[in-house]
Structures are given as C-alpha cells and as structure tokens.
Amino acid sequence: MQAEELQERIAAYPLWHYQFEFEGGIRTPLVDRARVNRQRQRRQYFFEPLLRLTGGTLEGRRVLDLGCSSGFWALQAIEAGADFVLGLDGRDTYIEQAKLVFEAKGIDPARYRFDQANVFEYDLQERFDVVLCLGLLNVVAKPVALFELISRSQAPLVVLDTGISRAPTKLFELSRLLETRNAIDYGMVLVPSRRAVIDLAGQFGFDALPLALDIADWTSMEDYRRGERLAFMCANGVTTGALALEPEPHRNAWVAAAQRRLRRRDRGR
Amino acid sequence: MDAQELQRRIDGFSRWHYRFDFDGGISTPIDDNVDMNRHEQRRRYFFDALLRLCDGSLKGLRVLDLGCNAGFWSLQAAEAGADFVCGVDGRQMHLEQAQLVFEAKGIDPARYRFEQANIFEHDFREQFDVVLCLGLMYHISKPVELFEIFDAVGAELVVIDTSVSFAPASHFEVSRDRNMDDPRNAVDYEIVLVPTRGALIELAAEFGYETVPLAHNMTDYTGMSDYRIRRRLAFICARTRSLAALPREQPPPLEPWWNALLNPARRGWQRARS
C-alpha cells in the first residue's frame, strides 16, 4: 500500500482508539494524546506478564481476542509471534480498522481473521491457547455467558482486563453505559467486584490472579489508579509462580484509598 | 387411578417438597409440617395478588411455570382456570411428580405439559401470557437471560418470588449453591446471582416491565422467617396492565449504623460470644 493511500484510508475514520505507527512516520490520530501513555502502560501491565508466562514469545499459540476493537492487542500478539489471531467485535467500523491495520503492517492474511459478531451469538468451534478479554467484561450484561464462550475456546490462559466495582464483597453492580453505542446487547451492564471476578473465573476452573499495578506513569490511567479497573491473569493448569500480585484493598474505602496513595509514593522513590 | 395405586406411586418418590391432597384422604408426605403454612401463606401472598390482577380467574390465559418442581403452582394456575400450563424443570424426578399429581387430580391432558430442560438451553417457541418464576431466581447465575425468556415468550405478567439481597443499592450478590445434588438447586452452575430489590426492578424495566414488590399480607410467619426479615419477596411485573391497585412493599428505612449496636437482636458479636 502506498503511503498516500494509507494516509487517506486512515483519515476516512473519524475516531481511532489506539495509536498505530506505520512505515514512513504515518500514525493513526488520537483525540487525546495522553492515551498513548495509557496503551504503553497497559502493555507493560498485563501483556508483558503474559509473555513472561509463555517464555517471552507466543510462538506456536493461537490467540482469541474478544472485543478486539481496532486490533491493537491482536497486533501485539502477532508481533509477539502468535501463530494465529482471531479478533471478534460487534461493530464493523472496528473490524474494518483492524483489517486496515493488519494489511498496512503486511501481516500474512493466513495468520489472522477478524469477524464482526455479537460475542454471545458467535458459534466458536476452534480451539485457542490464549484468550484476550480486554475491557469487555464490564460492558456486558451476561458475565456467565461470556465465560462460557471463553471456556469453549479451551484456552488455559486468559488475560482479563476489566472495570470493576470497588465493593469489598462478591457482587455485580448494575450499571449503565455512558455511551450506549458501546453496548454489546444492552445499555445496562453488570460490573463485577474484584472478588466476583475471582469467583466467576473459579467456577470455570480458572485461577484469577489480580496483577500488581506497578505503573511507571499514571497519566491517563485514572481508572486503574482509583481501583476501578484491574487486570487478572486467569490460568487453568498453568504455573503462574512468577507473577507479582495486587494485594486486596482494605475493606474500608478510606483506608484503601490511603493505602493506594502510600504504595504509589513508595514505588515513586 | 385407584387409591392404592396412587399411594404406591406417591411412596415411590424419596422426597416431596409440596403437600398435595387427593380424594380419599391421600396426601403427599413432606419433611416438615411447617411447610404447609409456608405454602398456604405464599399462595395468599403472591398467587392471590396475581388472581386479583386478572379479575379472579386465569381463564383464557396461557401460563408458563419455570422451575415448576412438583407442579404445585402449575396446579394452582390450572385450578384458577388457565387455558394451558407448561411446566419446565431441570430434574426428571420433579416432572414425574408433576405428571402424577395432574393425572391424579384428573386435569385434562390437553391443558398441560411438563418438560425437562435447562431453561437457558430450551427453545421456547410458544407464547405465554403469564410466567411464574417462583423460588428460581436465586438459584441461577443468568438474570439477564432469564428476562430474555420472559421477553421471548411474550409474557404480559410475570410473578417472581425470590430471595433478595438486603443492600439498598442495585446489584447482584454472588453466592453459591454448594450442594448441586439438592433437587431444589440449579442444574448448571454452583455460582448464583442474588438480586437486590432495586436491581430486580431496574432489570425488569430494561425489558419494559413495570414492577411492584408485593406488600406482605401474612397472617402467620411460621416457617416463613426469610420473608419475615424481608430476605425474600415476591414481585409482580407487568408490561401494559396497571399495577396501581397492588399494595406495595416499602423499602426498609435507612438506619444509622449505630442502631445495629443498640438493638440487641442484631448484635452479632454478642451472640457469637455467648
């Protein structure tokens, strides 16, 4: 693809959620520049631990990316050596963007597929080794059905990044999406608390391990900082000894906030 | 069916959850006679409210009974005049019991059907006017899918009798049905989502139902301690029918935390010590 053509096709989309860089200095535009830090920090936060568990590479592994958006994480997986990536998303704009990105990056078309589908109606027949479920659990109303799909893929490793309720007990908070256009099926969603995620994953045989929030730069990472978002490494029969875990916050919200602040200050030193 | 054969077939089941009375003084044995009052009170509580909404009779209405157990509520519906009753339950034993009860009661077989199915995998093709969802919601982990069923069968009225979480917010408490062998429990997962009152009302609204938590009208709380402490409530949801006539259960007033310390009945730490 020629540089001008690529530039033109990128410009055809009014909104990109991730910054992709192509040859010749071409980039996808972001509304908020600070989000570049967010995607960098999130990669450090949950994608690097995944690579650490798989020995630094995803070679020989098939990856399923649920709610793939414009394919940023699918691309990370391919660049980390994954054999094949299947990306699912409900909106065709995202699927088109992802296809454009992979084409422009010159990825072998035999190594990926992007399908526009409602994840709850998708008839998944293939097996996968890793599932990426990033920012999806907190925008659906059917958490159990989502895990049924994950468990159908028979993957022993799931990276689960999700908005969470700060409640100290096991519960799903009934909440509403601010932008209903993001809704998969309903504007109403069930947001799990940390303990609910662990319990739910446990029901499907996964050990859900909350990853330690060792974030170097908190710019644009407000939700993680406030304890309203967390990533979990869910493992079913995989040794996870090397991972640093995020301790459970104190039951009292004020104490928890103070502890978070203290921990962050300690890390800053 | 003669009395002896009925008695023999009743005895053939290891456990009956509801008491049924048949001609000739035959009845099904239940573990605990306290349950008799419980089922009578529950009938007064939500089934009478349903009848009142339908002008005293279910004539001309088709009723779907989800988690029908031995068909106790299906039978109430049939006896209240429902045109057709479909009972669905996950366990074969319950369906055999329900079949036996309806046969012994001499209900016209064209007026009912019982099916064994996991309700979330069942393909509901027919339309129903009333759905009974009694003692089911706190045994399942898919509240949204449950309402999708109500929606799929085109239910105008839904009666939900369920345990609720006390919290004043809108959420679902994650709990566990540990013993999957208990015939009352779900057939798929141990994990269950128990709604708060607010969550149930909000969820129903998402599907176009107006919901009223029914005010208690119990005359005797024997065997009803879960209802007494408002841990369990019945709700009636309606799409178009007006629910204004139904007495509404008021949410408990928000108490300051120190009341819990002043009220000896709620001093958990003291009870634990003694």
Cβ-proximal residues to B203 (8 Å cutoff; 6+ apart), any chain: A174, A188, B143, B144, B147, B195
Which of A64-68, A110-114, A246-250 is the least confident region?
A246-250
Work out the average pLDDT over A119-136: 94
Chain A, window 138-177: residues with a beta carbon less than 8 angstroms from a chain B beta carbon? 141-142, 144-145, 165, 167, 169-174
State the Cα–Cα distance between residues A20 and A71, nearest whole angstrom.
Answer: 10
Asked whether the predicted pLDDT for residue A146 surpasses 50, the reply is yes
Chain A closest CA to B206's CA: distance in Å?
A: 7
List chain A residues with CB under 8 Å of B198: 174
Residue A183: what pLDDT? 60
Amino acid (one-letter) located at A91: R
Which residues are bridge partners to B175 per DSSP? B192
Q: What is the pTM of this model?
A: 0.90
Helix (H, G, I), strand (E, B) or coil at B137: helix
Write down the number of H helices and E strands in chain B. Answer: 10, 9
- Two tokens at A15? 């909104």
Residue A268: what pLDDT? 56
Residue B254: what pLDDT? 76
List chain A residues with CB under 8 Å of B173: 169-171
Which of A78-82, A258-262, B51-55 is the least confident region?
A258-262
Exposure on the CB side of residue B123, measured as CA atoms within 13 A: 1
Check if A186 contacts B (Cβ < 8 Å).
yes
Q: Which residue did the predictor score with more confidence, B191 or B259?
A: B191
Asked whether the predicted pLDDT for residue A264 surpasses 80, the reply is no
User: What is the ipTM, given to two decimal places?
Assistant: 0.88
Percentage of chain A beyond pLDDT 70 is 97
Per-residue pLDDT band at B183 (split at 50, 70, 90): low
Give the best residue of A188, A197, A206 to mutate against chain B (max B CB count within 10 A): A188
Asked whether the predicted pLDDT for residue B260 surpasses 90, the reply is no
Asked whether the predicted pLDDT for residue B274 surpasses 60, the reply is no
Asked whether the predicted pLDDT for residue A160 surpasses 70, the reply is yes
Letter string b/e over residues B237-254, b meaning 16 or more CB atoms within 10 A of that residue's CB: bbbeeebeebeebeeeee
Asked whether the predicted pLDDT for residue B273 surpasses 70, the reply is no
